[in-house]
Amino acid sequence: MPQHPVPFNRPLITGSELSFIRESIETGILSGDGLFSSRCKAFFVSRYGFKNTMLTTSCTDALEMAAMLIGICPGDEIITCSYTYVSTANAFVLRGANVVFADCRNDYPGIDEDSLERLITKNTKAIIPVHYAGIACDMDKIMAVADKYNLYVIEDAAQCIDAYYTGADGMQKPLGSIGHLSAFSFHETKNITCGEGGMLVINDERLLDRAEILLEKGTNRRRFLRHEIDKYQWVDVGSSFSPSDVTAAFLYAQLQHLDSVQQARIKTWETYYSTLLPLQKRGHLTLPHIPHYASNNGHIFYIVCPSPEIRNNLMKHLKMMGISASFHYVSLHSSEFYKAYNKNIPYLPQSDKFSECLLRLPMYYGITDNEIKSVTDAICTFFEANA
Ligand SMILES: *Cc1c(COP(=O)(O)O)cnc(C)c1O
């Protein structure tokens, strides 16, 4: 056993949360869109140029709002990656959409951009790329297909804080700034968190007016608050998506530490990579691939094992050593729910491969060199014993 167990995740606590929460309480306004919501939004404008953002209570909520906003109706189709979190698909299924699953690329778990065009039908409304582990999908290709067929692109940017895409024009753009809409998560498992939280980024300004209404439970309250009308009322569907200002204060505290958090996570990622590189050279495992157009935001460090048996045995071996490593998604096309409602289950071998062979290693702010070493030592021992 190592000196002490190594958990898979420890939620980030920066130490300045309580003082910002106190400040929020002292404003006397605790509901959504108070002082700290505004401060968070200002942060996103200045750091990433996200001109229009709305904090939500989760990324799931942001995706549900996006589905409403683009007017998804029963019978519409959306295309997304099967290897993703449930919410990417569920948000659209809730509005009656049929989800069409694309496979992953073979070199990393992002959506296979080249497969999109043949999945489009006359009912297709949107493509939902998921930037797995904060590693960008090839957005030039995706936006070109979307333009050609007049589709919306909604980036599932849940894992993408401080991650970038460099397109053919050589410009480095933050993930979340490219699609018509984007959804971020601040769940406790993400780099920056407020426990549960999210954000919708609205890049297509045509959607802005309606977004305001959906966020305000289907009313034109925002116009009222701007003194554009003398009373507000029910004008559309909507729901309650805003987090309280207390939650926003927590988030704002974390955003103040973004640079040091990112530096530390990327350093951990790089230590894993360089230490495990000899195992990749011997063919024992595959390390993450970061395409030339993508950046690394240190969200997840994963390895891909040569077979499901090896992955599962390695996971057991690590568990015996007190180390929590974790597989990731059960591909949605092979889920119970999807199979119950769909007769034609697509064959998505790359998705299946990542479901069965991918393993995520412990990764959190504050992980010590000793903890990292006990993880990499345990992996090396496993492969030496099984060579
Ligand atoms: C975390 C995550 C979500 C869900 O985020 P919540 O804030 O928990 O709703 C959705 N999609 C992806 C890809 C995620 O990683």
Q: Give the Å distance between the CA of 20 and the centre of ligand 1.
A: 25
Which atom belonging to ligand 1 lies closest to the Cα atom of 58?
Answer: 7
The radius of gyration of the chain from alpha carbons, rounded to an integer in Å, stands at: 21
Q: Are 191 and 261 in contact (CB under 8 A)?
A: yes
Report whether 254 contacts 39 (CB < 8 A).
Answer: no
The torsion angles phi and psi of 59, rounded to 5 degrees, stand at: -70, -35
Residue 384 alpha carbon to ligand 1 centre in Å: 36
182 lines ligand 1 (CB under 6 A): no
Residue 58 Cβ < 6 Å to ligand 1: yes
In whole angstroms, give the CA distance from residue 93 to residue 74: 9
- Residues 155, 347, 120, 293: what is their CA dihedral angle, to the nearest 10 degrees? 40
| Residue to mutate, 64, 65, 187, ligand 1, most ligand atoms under 8 Å from C-beta | 187
- Match 């530490």 to its residue by tokens: 257
The dihedral region occupied by 322, where left means phi > 0, alpha psi between -120 and 50, and beta the remainder, is left
Distances (CA, A) of 134 to 36, 285, 290: 26, 21, 10
**Residue 92 and residue 232: Cα distance in Å, rounded?**
29
Angle between helices 245-255 and 258-281 (to 10 degrees): 60
* Strand, helix or coil for residue 55: strand
Ligand 1 nearest atom to the CA of residue 196, by list position: 7
Q: What is the DSSP letter of 331?
A: P
Q: How far is the CA of 215 from the centre of ligand 1 (A)?
A: 19
14 touches 256 (CB < 8 A): yes
Angstrom distance (rounded) from CA 142 to CA 98: 20
SS3 content of the chain, % helix, strand, coil (to 5): 40, 15, 45
Ligand 1 centroid – CA 204 distance (Å): 22
First to last CA, the chain: 22
Tens-binned pLDDT, residue by residue, of the chain (387 aa): 555 899 999 999 999 999 999 999 999 999 999 999 999 999 999 999 999 999 999 999 999 999 999 999 999 999 999 999 999 999 999 999 999 999 999 999 999 999 999 999 999 999 999 999 999 999 999 999 999 999 999 999 999 999 999 999 999 999 999 999 999 999 999 999 999 999 999 999 999 999 999 999 999 999 999 999 999 999 999 999 999 999 999 999 999 999 999 999 999 999 999 999 999 999 999 999 999 999 999 999 999 999 999 999 999 999 999 999 999 999 999 999 999 999 899 999 999 999 999 999 999 999 999 999 999 999 999 999 986
Q: What pLDDT does residue 1 have?
A: 55
57 lines ligand 1 (CB under 6 A): no
Closest CA to 311 of 328, 295, 298: 328
Nearest CA-CA partner of 160 in 145, 172, 177, 143: 177
CB 268 within 8 A of CB 367: yes
Separation in Å, CA 261 to CA 189, 191, 251: 14, 8, 14
Report the distance separating Cα 304 and Cα 359, nearest Å.
Answer: 6
The token pair that represents 275 in the structure block: 């230490």
Nearest to 61 by CA among 130, 139, 158: 158
Cα dihedral: 117, 176, 106, 361 (round 10): -160
Q: Is the dihedral of CA 206, 210, 216, 220 positive or negative?
A: positive
Calpha distance 129→179 (Å, rounded) = 9
Ligand 1 pocket check for 56: Cβ under 6 Å? no
